[in-house]
Each structure stands twice: as structure tokens, then as C-alpha cells.
Amino acid sequence: MQTRALVEGVWKVEATRIVATVARMVRDVGVAEEIAQDCLVTALEQWPVKGPPDNPAAWLMTTARNRAVDRIRRDQRLAANLAELGHRLPGESDLEVEPDQIEDDVLRLVFVACHPVLAAQSRVALALRLLGGLRAAEIARAFLVPEATVAQRISRAKRTLADKQVPFEVPTGADRPQRLTSVLEVIYLIFNEGYSASAGDDLLRPALCQDALHLGRSLAALMPDEPEVHGLTALMELQASRLRARTGPNGEAVVLGEQNRARWDQLLIRRGLAALEKAQALGGSFGPYTLQAAIAAAHARARTPEETDWKRIAALYQVLFTVLPSPVVALNRAVAFGMAFGPQAGLDAVDVLAEADEPAMRNYHLLPGVRADLLARLGRTEEARAEFERAAALSSNRREREALLGRLRELA
């Protein structure tokens, strides 16, 4: 094996822990990453010549910590020289590292990278960079944006964190629930970008789903008492279990009812159900992610589409709508009503939503898509045709558009 490949492997596994440890020491995420990167460069220069150290991961961590100490001492000297006051400088106790502390540091890094002071896109980019260990180029490829854009988002985000003096800590006060929500949002955003690519030719970008799952599982291990963390992880495991079945041989979308369930990933389903159980055991049954996971679980448990317990799913959506009254939830509830109580019940629910004329729904292709399906089932073919056409025109994903046009052609 090439030494370069060895460095690559150790780095991918260890980078987050190193950045987190150094960030606590220097109290600046940007500086921490810089120091960590410098160590990587040193490794890439030295190891191929001198041979890798016995324990490469430990070498990287020690080197990074030593450099952080040097940096702090230099800054202290500088501050002393300038007689700068009122600025808290790290003391010696900040420089020690216990193994358990690394995990606390990683958790701190999670909360800082997903801080609400940052724009949503910046949070996503920073999380993938610092917590997922992705390069700017990899993030750019995943989100179909130029690499320079991602690099800019990341550097701006680091600057914002420094300017606003965001403390490197896990929130413990009144803002904790809101901060955790922000973390979960970032993770789910990453997952969804992989699960239903919002733009481009491919329907799925499974690597992003995988990155989000890693973050979710990792967070569940770091915060084992937070039900919604398990709920989100359960939701992602269960949704990811259908990844292989969601696209056909030519990359086209396959809807849930028509998926080959033998292609569902039973390992992920098992993990998802276990995580859901944990969330519920912790009293999280009414959390929005846990409820969505419960809905996904109802699908996962059905060996055939006919076995699906739609009444239970409709009931779960009803509850979900009370805690998360979004138009998208209302639309999914209408779909469930349509399956549990017949197409007319579904259509009535969709029409209530359509009449509400929610701004979020105005250009949302799934609204006419769902209406079209219900109208077709009611035999109102002409109306269904018009709605499928509207839905196809509104979709920005090529595969999805093709699927809608396919439905249109099927209408006699």
C-alpha cells in the first residue's frame, strides 16, 4: 500500500477528532482546521520518506496538539506585548487532553458547525467539511455548485463564528433545544439532498445520504439520551433502506408501492427499527422526527404493498400535523387519507390544502402530482391529465419529470 493512501485513510478517520480537540484549545474553528491541515501536509511530506509512525493516528493528534500549544504561547506573548486586556486566554488546563474529552470536543464541534448564526447553506457546507471530513471539491460535486462557491461559504462561515465569538461549547441553557433542532435540521438537509436530489440528472446521491447517516449515528452515540436524535437516525436508516429500490435500471424513479421490496436493505431496516424503539423508550413518541420514523417503519414492516397499515399511517400523519403543521405534512397526510379511506377522502384533503394557497405549495410539483393520482383513481381522467402536466412542468429533476410524464401516458 502506498504511504499516501495510508495517510488518506488515517486522515479521513481522525480529522474530525483532531479539529475538535484543537478547536477547544485555540477557541477558533478556522485556526484549528488550519493547524490540522498543516499536520496533514507534514505527514504527506515526511511519511513517504521516513516511513509512517507506529501509530499514525496518535502521531497526527500529538503533532496537532503541540502545534496548538505553540500557537497559543505565541499569541499569549503577542497579547502580553500589546498589553491586550479583557481577552480570555486559554490556561494550561485547556491544553490537556483526556480520551473522553475528545468525544466532548467532537460534540462541541457539531454544535458550533451547525450554529444558527450561520446561513443554512453555510451550516451544511461546514458540517460536511468539519464533521464529514469532505473536501470543498467533494461538497461542490455533491451539491452541483462550483468549488469556489463552497470554499467561500466555508471560509465565510469560519469568519462569522470568529467575529460573533461563538463559544466552543455544547449549549446547556434555554437555547439548547433550539440549538439541537438546528443540528438535526442540518443533518436531515444533507440526507434529503442525497435522497431526493433537488436538481440535476440523478435522482439520488447516495454518498450524501451516507454522510448524513454517519453524522446522525455519531450524534446518537454522543447524545444517547436525546430521543429526537434517535428519531432522526431511525428515519434516515429506514429511508436509506429503500435507496436501492427507489430507482429502476435506467435511473428512473420507482414509487414506494411499486418498489421491489426484496431490494430493501434489511440491515438498515433492523437498525432503523432499533433506533425508533430507543427514541420511543426515551419518551420521544411525539417528536417530529420520531413520528416520521414511525411512519417509515410502518412501510418497512409491510412485506407487500397490500399489507401496509394505511390507517395507522394516516393516524400518525394526523399527529405529526399537530406538532409539525407544514403544507408538506398536510400533503402527505392527504396521500395517507387517500390510501386509508379512499381517493375522495384524499382529494378532499388535498383540495383544502390547494385552496389555502400556501406560498410553499405554489410551485411544488408534488401537489398537482398527488391530485393527479387521486383524480385518476376516481376516473376523472381529463382533470388528472392536466394535473400531471402541471406537475411535470414544475419538477426540476429530470428523472422525476420523466416519471410524471410516464404516468400521463398511462392514462387512457
Per CB under 8 A, 218 contacts another protein: yes
With contacts defined by CB under 8 A, name the span among 7-15, 146-154, 354-362, 380-388 that binds another protein: 7-15
- Cell numbers for 97, please give them: 487532553
Minimum separation from the CB atom of position 9 to another protein (A): 3
Among 13, 89, 323, 360, binds another protein (CB under 8 A): 13
DSSP helix/strand/coil, 240: helix
- From 37, 160, 210, 285, residue interacting with another protein (rule: CB under 8 A): 210
| Least distance (Å) between residue 195 CB and another protein | 15
Q: Is residue 245 involved in binding another protein (CB under 8 A)?
A: no
How many other CB atoms are there within 10 angstroms of residue 170's CB atom?
18
Q: Which of 88, 129, 94, 135 is nearest to 110 (CA)?
A: 129
For another protein, which is the closer residue by CB, 8 or 307?
Answer: 8
Rule CB under 8 A: choose which of 48, 151, 155, 244 binds another protein.
244
Q: Is 399 in the site for another protein (CB under 8 A)?
A: no
Residue 5 in contact with another protein, rule: CB under 8 A: yes
CB of 187 to another protein, least distance (A): 10
The SS3 of residue 397 is: strand
Burial of 60 (0-12, 13-18, 19+ CB in 10 A): buried
Q: Establish if 262 lies at the interface with another protein (CB under 8 A).
A: no
Using CA atoms in the order 135, 139, 140, 143, what is the torsion angle rounded to 10 degrees? 180
Place of cell 388535498: 350
**Nearest residue (CB) to another protein, 95 versus 222:** 222
Return the number of the residue (215 or 392) whose C-beta is nearest another protein.
215
Q: How far is the CB of 127 from another protein (least distance, A)?
A: 13
**Whose Cβ is closer to another protein: residue 132's or residue 346's?**
132
- Give the 3-state secondary structure percentages of the chain, helix then strand then coil, rounded to 5: 75, 0, 25
x/- binding map, residues 83-122, to another protein, per CB under 8 A?
Answer: --------------------x--x----------------
Q: CB under 8 Å, gap of 24 or more: what pairs does 37-46 form?
A: 38/67, 39/63, 39/64, 39/67, 40/7, 40/11, 40/15, 43/7, 43/10, 43/11, 44/4, 44/7
| DSSP codes of every residue in 355-390 | HHT-HHHHT-THHHHHHHHHHHHTT-HHHHHHHHHH
Site residues (CB under 8 A) for another protein? 1, 5-6, 8-10, 12-13, 55, 57, 103, 106, 206-207, 210-211, 213-218, 221-222, 244, 267-268, 271
